[in-house]
Every structure is written in C-alpha cells, then in structure tokens.
Amino acid sequence: MKTAFIYSDEFGSYSYGGSYPMRPARLKLTYELIKAYRLLDLPDTQIIEARKASEEEVLLFHTKDYINVLKEANDGVIPENGWQHGLGYGDNPVFTGVYDWSLYSAGASVQAAETVLSGHTDFAFNICGGLHHAMKDKASGFCYLNDAVIAIEYLLERGKRVAYIDIDAHHGDSVQFAFYDTDRVMTISLHENGEYLFPGTGFSHEIGTGKGKGYSVNLPFPPETDDMVFVNGFEEIVPLFIKRFKPDILVTQLGVDTFRTDPITHLNLTTNGFKAMVKRFRSFNLPWVALGGGGYNLSNVARAWTIAWGIMNDAVLTNKMPDSFSETAREFNISERILNDAEDEHAKNKFSDKKELIWKEVSGNIDFLKRTALPLIG
C-alpha cells in the first residue's frame, strides 16, 4: 500500500491559550514520535507539505458571512458580531492565527482526499483534521472549520460515495447534520452518550431523514465503557453497515479522547481497543482518508496516532519508544516510554456486573440499529 502523511510545522505553532485543553502542540509531538520510529522513511510513504484551504474549498460547507467574521478574528480580537458565530465564547477562543490554523487543517484534509482520489496513494493521514463540531455558520467545540465535511464535499463533487466513521468520545454532530438527508454519505459515530458529554446529541434514534433515512448511524456508550465493550459494539455495527453501503472511499475520525486517562471524558479505552478498530479500518481495503480528532492527554495522542500510522503502513513497532524521542518527551513533560498500554487479560475476558449493565444498554442500541436503519440502506 502507498501512504501519504500530510503535515506542516505550522500545525503545532498556534495556541488556544493556557487554560484550554485543546493544544495544537500535540501535533508536533505526534510527528516527532512518528519520525523517531522512522515511519516517514518507508519506501511506499510520502510526506506531503500541508497547504491552506482556498476560500472556494471552505465555502463548500461554510457560509460566506461566517468566513468573513472568522477572517476578522485572525488577529486574536473577538469581532463585534463574533458571538453570533460562536467566536470567543465557551470552547471557541479567538487567538492569533485562528483562521490561518483552521485553513491548514481544512487544506490538509482536502489534500488527503485529493491524493487518495487520484490513486497516487491508498491511505492518507491528516493528524490536524477531524474537527467535527464546526457548524456551517459558527464555531463549536474547539472547531472553527469542519475539515471532514469539506473533504467529503470535495469527494461528492467527484461522484464518490463516502463512508464517514467517527470513534471520538464526542458525537460527530456537524458531520452527521451536514449529510443527514442524503444517501451518498453514511455517517457512523461511536461515542460517549450525549446525556453525559458535549454536544448532547448522537442518540441511536438519529438515523437520518428523507433520502438519508438509515444513513446516519449512532452508537452511544455509557461512561466507564472499556475496550471490550466499545470494540464489541464497533464490530457489531461498522463492518455490517459498510458491507451494506459499499462506499467508494472511507473517511475516519480517529479521536483518542475515549482513553481512560483523558482529562475531559469518561470512557476507559486504551491503545489496545484503539488499535483493534484501526486494524479493522485497514482490513476494509478501501481508499482511506484518516483524520485526527480529539485527545487532551498529549501522550495518548502521540502514541495512538503513531500506532495508527504504523498500522496503515504494515509496520511492526517496538513497544519501547526510540531513544531519539527522549528529548522531545522531556520537552512536553511526557513520562511514558512505552508505546502500548498494558492489556488487562482478566478484564478483557470477564464481564463484571457493571460491565454487564453497560453491555445491555449498548446491545439494545445495536439491535435497534439493525432493525431500523440497516434495512433502509440500498
């Protein structure tokens, strides 16, 4: 397989501010760990220098009024009418370069779509992508431009059927809403139940409308869901719906805020569950655009996305991180020197009373989706 890693040093050169858990510096950390494993020197891999999205590209989804206001915010000052577009409030701070940084994220996702669509590469990874909350006319949930929707719109314009699968702890709300009434895109989101976590959507009954009925698939999980339950749910839903839909191209959002040590979510996954799902994506043998996403523990982000890039390239990685990464790890106060989380064999093979209750809830949603959404897919 030929692969492309879309990257720019600009990715990690911006900051939301000290109090915000979203830190673009995590992208530089990830790049350095991937480089330390020499995963960018493989014979069938290329590094593509990320570019900013054009205005024409961002307008594939976003409104002109919103883009004009976001441009105004680029100097780090909240525009007079910024509040109307979610700028400068909640999880959407206005910082110097906010528009430029967002253009890099969106442009890199379009580049990933371009290179996969052209056949020059089979898989492409934009670790700066996956900003799945940005709405058509406003910022939301740390996200200003929705690179996933923009890249999918690019593919739709070229006649492709796209499956979008999101394994972030937060529901991929804006991607779902963008394609809620079409049968040309299937959105599948596995996430923490919206009763407990932003954005409060993504319930199993949200299955689309009109031509899109059945093509929006949501599998929410209760807090404390672990690898075993999450991956079992994934295996019950994702391969079945992908087989029925028969997409031309796969787009995945690989958020790692599902991990048990993430500071703002309530799930209990590890690199082991994450790895199992990425391997399954790989097994579909579809042209694949992989995007980053959430993840607020820097070590989790770097380790998981290095593992993902290794899987895309069929690379075997040592569990001990390379010595050449030590200086970078110290710079970011990363104490881990092991790539993979330890696997608890006892927990993996045993259902506790609590896990039984969690699985009962999840399996009820699985049955609902198989009965209601699956038969509608043609």
Of 132, 133, 171, 191, the catalytic one is 133
C-alpha atoms less than 13 angstroms from C-alpha of 21 in its C-beta half-sphere? 14
How far apart are alpha carbons 196 and 234 in whole angstroms?
20
CB atoms within 10 A of CB 354: 11
Per-residue tokens: 293: 């996403």
Per-residue tokens: 109: 């996702």
- DSSP H helices in the chain: 25-36, 55-58, 64-72, 98-118, 147-157, 173-178, 227-245, 271-283, 298-312, 326-331, 345-349, 353-372
How far apart are alpha carbons 22 and 292 in whole angstroms?
13
Alpha-carbon 57 to chain mean position: 20
How far apart are alpha carbons 22 and 30 in whole angstroms?
14
| Helix axes 98-118 and 147-157, enclosed angle (nearest 10) | 40
Q: Give me the count of residues in the chain.
A: 378
133 is catalytic: yes
| C-alpha to C-alpha distances, 304 to 129, 243, 348, nearest whole angstrom | 15, 26, 19
Query: What is the phi-psi region of residue 295: left when phi exceeds 0, alpha when psi lies from -120 to 50, beta otherwise?
Result: left
Query: What is the phi-psi region of residue 106: left when phi exceeds 0, alpha when psi lies from -120 to 50, beta otherwise?
Result: alpha
CB atoms within 10 A of CB 226: 23
How far apart are alpha carbons 195 and 199 in whole angstroms?
9
Residues assigned a catalytic role: 133
